[in-house]
Amino acid sequence: MIKGKKSLKGKTPSRRKFFKAAAATGVAAVAASSLAAPAVAAERVEAAMVATWPRDFPGLGTGAQRFAKQLSDMSDGRIQVTYYASGERVKAFDSFDEVASGNSQMYHAADYYWVKKHPAFGYFTAVPFGFTYSEINAWIHHAGGQALWDELTDDFGTQSFICGNTGVQMGGWFNKKIRSANDLKGLKMRIPGLGGQVIGKLGGSPISLPGGQIYENLVSGAIDATEWVGPWNDEAMKFHEAAKYYYYPGMHEPGSMLACGVNKSWFTSLTKSDQTLIKTCCAWADEITMAEYNAKNGAALARLVNDHGVKLEKFNDKVYDAFAKGAAEVYDEVQQHSDLAARTHAAFVKGRKEIGAWTNLSDSPYIQQRNRALGL
Ligand code: CA
């Protein structure tokens, strides 16, 4: 033991220090044992979790269900989360009010569904020309993002944590080629959040629909185009039966962060230990969900193209430049909404510059060079 300490610290602790440490440890041990009793008798926690996703929907639904189960497993069943998919307790887009009011304790959703309550919510899922998965995690966890998110949700009596990510999303499904911004004029497209507002600036009609209602609207012609997520999720939706052209990359959601929202009064009534357990489980779900998307998107893309005859198309520079112009107009309006919206936007722009500077020098050129040199 002493030898081990020596090798760690480079010198043997003096006897005085040793006894002082032993005494302190003894006190700590007594204190810990006296505190141990309430921990053993920790209360059972029951929570209802509503979600914006259809039951068992790949990635989004299954990821949320896996998160609810993991909370129970991590607490040996002491924390019981009853999970309700969209429509099972409330409609998808009523999830926020359900939790803010305290009727349910938790939701799993994308917080940009709540942009009509406050435009800053957009920044906490994905915004046009925004962060990738690794960038947004850097911003939320280590560059002030969570504090702004907390400030935003506090007004509603909720709090949100990262609880998943879809990665870069595809640009969407269209029945005609999009060669310039003119081709977006009059287009009725399912595209939520600030990305939808960009399409609006370019003359399109953005529509927000929960996932479970997109297919029927696309098939009936009630909408002309839609975005959803990426190959793995879009294949499950069977959009290829109703639209032919599959565009990439999406400017609107470069790394969509999924959220676990909690009723704040309920959450803060929990022990620190349970609060930490829930937050840790959220971070776990974030990583596992992203890994699953990355593992499954490639094979799904190959099936869409090879088995279903989907035409892959890349947005050209002209269209992307128009998106950028539309996004600038949307951001001007967002900043005028409120002090919090302006501060959130400023923090986003700062983060994109600073965090993005590293992406520019690391992931982006590395992938380009790897693929070029190996002909991938
Ligand atoms: Ca989407």
Task: Kindly state the average pLDDT of the residues 181-201.
Answer: 96
* Boundaries of every domain in the chain: 45-165+255-294, 172-254+303-356
Measured in angstroms, how far is the CA atom of residue 353 from the centroid of ligand 1?
24
Measured in angstroms, how far is the CA atom of residue 257 from the centroid of ligand 1?
10
pLDDT in tens, 132-162: 999 999 999 999 999 999 999 999 999 999 9
Measured in angstroms, how far is the CA atom of residue 212 from the centroid of ligand 1?
13
Look at residue 107 and tell me whether its pLDDT is greater than 70.
Answer: yes
In the prediction, which pLDDT does 10 show?
Answer: 40
What is the chain's mean pLDDT, rounded?
91
User: What is the CATH architecture assignment of 45-165+255-294?
Assistant: 3-Layer(aba) Sandwich (3.40)
pLDDT-derived band at 61 (thresholds 50, 70, 90) equals very high
Q: Residues 215, 242: contact at Cβ < 8 Å?
A: yes
In the prediction, which pLDDT does 229 show?
Answer: 96
Q: Cβ of 167: how many Cβ atoms within 10 Å? A: 21
Measured in angstroms, how far is the CA atom of residue 11 from the centroid of ligand 1?
58
In the prediction, which pLDDT does 40 show?
Answer: 53
Measured in angstroms, how far is the CA atom of residue 123 from the centroid of ligand 1?
14
Measured in angstroms, how far is the CA atom of residue 202 from the centroid of ligand 1?
18
Task: Kindly state the average pLDDT of the residues 218-239.
Answer: 97
Look at residue 19 and tell me whether its pLDDT is greater than 90.
Answer: no
pLDDT in tens, 312-325: 999 999 999 999 99
In the prediction, which pLDDT does 36 show?
Answer: 54
> Are the folds of 45-165+255-294 and 172-254+303-356 the same?
yes
Measured in angstroms, how far is the CA atom of residue 192 from the centroid of ligand 1?
7
Look at residue 46 and tell me whether its pLDDT is greater than 60.
Answer: yes
Query: Which option is the CATH number for 172-254+303-356: 3.40.605.10, 3.40.190.10, 3.40.50.1820, 3.40.50.2300?
Result: 3.40.190.10
Measured in angstroms, how far is the CA atom of residue 277 from the centroid of ligand 1?
29
Measured in angstroms, how far is the CA atom of residue 306 from the centroid of ligand 1?
23
Measured in angstroms, how far is the CA atom of residue 292 from the centroid of ligand 1?
17
More confident position, 59 or 15: 59
Cβ < 5 A residues, ion ligand 1: 169, 253
In the prediction, which pLDDT does 18 show?
Answer: 39
pLDDT-derived band at 42 (thresholds 50, 70, 90) equals confident
